[in-house]
Amino acid sequence: MNAINNQTVKQKLKQYKNKPLSIILLSLVILSSAITVLILFFIIIYILIKGIPHITPSLFEFKYTSENCSLTPALINTFITTALALLITVPLGIFSAVYLVEYAKRGNKIVGVIRMTTETLSGIPSIIYGLFGYLFFVVQLKLKYSVLSGTLTLAIMILPLIIRTTEEALKSVPDSYREGSFGLGAGKLRTVFKIVLPPAVPGILSGVILATGRIVGETAALLYTAGTGTKAAWNILKSGRTLSEHMYLLSSEGLYIDQSYATAVVLIVIVAGLNALSSFLAKKITKG
C-alpha cells in the first residue's frame, strides 16, 4: 500500500493544498481498500495461527469419536457429495448453456423464461434450498436424511452457476470458428462438440471449480437434507455430514474450540486452493 503513496503523496500534497475534499476522498478510498484486504488477511492469519498447532494426527483418524473429533469421515462425505453433485449438474448445465448460446433463436420466448428462472435460482438463499430439499427429497421421495438428498439439493443449487459460466465461455469462442466449421460442411452437432466446446473448456472448468467451492462451503442447505451423521457415508442413502457442517457442529457445541480452529484451517486451505485454481484457469482464457 505504501509503494504508490511514496511517489504521489508529496506531489499530491502540493497540488491539493487548497482542495480538502479531494484529500478526504482519496484517504477514504485508500482506507476502504485497506480495510477490505486487512479483514481478509486478519481472518486467514488468525485462523491459521490458532489452528495449525491443533492439527494433530488424531484429527485425521479414520473413525470419528467424541474424543478425537476426526474430520476424515466429513472430508470423505464432502468428496462424495461434491463428486456426485458435479456428475449430475455439469452435463445438465453445459447442455443448457449449449442450447441457450448455440441453438436458441433470437427472441425465442422460452429463452427468456429460462434466463429468468436461472437468475431466480441463483438468488435463492441456501436455507430455502435446504427447506425444499427436506420437503421434496427427504419427505416426498422418502430418501430420508441422506447424502443422496443433500447431493441432489446441492445439484440444483449449483446449476445456475454452471450454466452462467459455460454460457460466458461459449460466447467468448469467436464466430469465425463456427462459420469455418459450417463452411467445411460439418453439422451443428459436430461443430458444437468438436469446434466450439474444446476452446471453452478452461472457462467451463473455472466455473466447475467455483461450484466445487460453493459445495464445500455449504452448510445451511445440508443440515436438514444430508443430516449430521458422523460416519463416512459410503452408502449414499445414509446420513453424513460434510466438512462445513462438521465445522459448524463442532463450534456450536462449544467444547471443541481447538478442533474447530484446526478444521477451519483445513476448510480454508481447500477453499483457497480451489480459488487459486479457478482464477488460474480464468487467466488462461483471457490469454488464449
Partner 1 sequence: MSKYKEKIMGGIFLLAACTSIIAVILICFFLFANGIPAIKEIGIFKFLTGTDWRPSNDIYGILPMILGSIYVTAGAIIIGVPIGIFTAAFMAYFCPKKIYRILKPAVNLLAGIPSVIYGFFGLVILVPLTGNSMLTASLILAVMILPSVIGVSETAIKAVPKSYYEGALALGATHERSVFFTVIPAAKSGIFAGVVLGIGRAIGETMAVMMVAGNSTAIPGSLFDGVRTLTTNIAIEMGYAQDLHREALIATGVVLFVFILIINISCSLIKRRNEN
DSSP string, 156-209: HHHHHHHHHHHHHHHHTS-HHHHHHHHHTT--HHHIIIIIIHHHHHHHHHHHHH
Based on the shown chain and the rule CB under 8 A, indicate whether residue 201 belongs to the binding site for partner 1.
no
Distances (CA, A) of 48 to 161, 206, 261: 30, 26, 8
Residues 48-87 contacting partner 1, CB under 8 A? 50
Q: Closest CB to partner 1 among 131 and 234?
A: 131
Distances (CA, A) of 137 to 62, 132, 148, 157, 176: 29, 8, 9, 14, 45
Q: Closest CB to partner 1 among 104 and 201?
A: 104
Based on the shown chain and the rule CB under 8 A, indicate whether residue 257 belongs to the binding site for partner 1.
yes
Based on the shown chain and the rule CB under 8 A, indicate whether residue 40 belongs to the binding site for partner 1.
yes
Sequence-ordered list of residues with C-beta below 8 angstroms from that of 148, at least 6 positions apart, any chain: 84, 137, 236, 237
- Rounded to whole angstroms, the Cα distance separating 187 from 179 reads 11
Q: How many C-beta atoms lie closer than 10 Å to residue 61's C-beta? A: 16
Strand, helix or coil at 224?
coil
Q: CA Rg, the chain, in Å?
A: 24
Q: Which residues of 123-133 are buried (b: 16+ CB within 10 A; e: fewer)?
A: eeebeebbbbb
Q: Closest CB to partner 1 among 11 and 62?
A: 11
Q: Minimum distance from CB of 236 to partner 1 (Å)?
A: 21
Based on the shown chain and the rule CB under 8 A, indicate whether residue 32 belongs to the binding site for partner 1.
yes
- Residue with grid cell 429460462, as numbered in its chain: 114
Q: Closest CB to partner 1 among 140 and 176?
A: 140
Using the contact rule CB under 8 A, the part of the chain among 55-63, 175-183, 197-205, 268-276 near partner 1 is 268-276
Based on the shown chain and the rule CB under 8 A, indicate whether residue 123 belongs to the binding site for partner 1.
yes
Based on the shown chain and the rule CB under 8 A, indicate whether residue 252 belongs to the binding site for partner 1.
yes
Q: Closest CB to partner 1 among 199 and 217?
A: 217
- Rounded to whole angstroms, the Cα distance separating 254 from 237 reads 30
Based on the shown chain and the rule CB under 8 A, indicate whether residue 287 belongs to the binding site for partner 1.
no
Using the contact rule CB under 8 A, the part of the chain among 55-63, 67-75, 121-129, 198-206 near partner 1 is 121-129
Site string for partner 1, 137-156 (x = CB under 8 A): ---x---------------x
- Residue with grid cell 467455483, as numbered in its chain: 210
Q: Minimum distance from CB of 144 to partner 1 (Å)?
A: 14
Site string for partner 1, 10-29 (x = CB under 8 A): -----xx--x-xxx-xx-xx
Q: Closest CB to partner 1 among 214 and 238?
A: 214
Interface with partner 1 (CB under 8 A), residue from 13, 52, 83, 125: 125
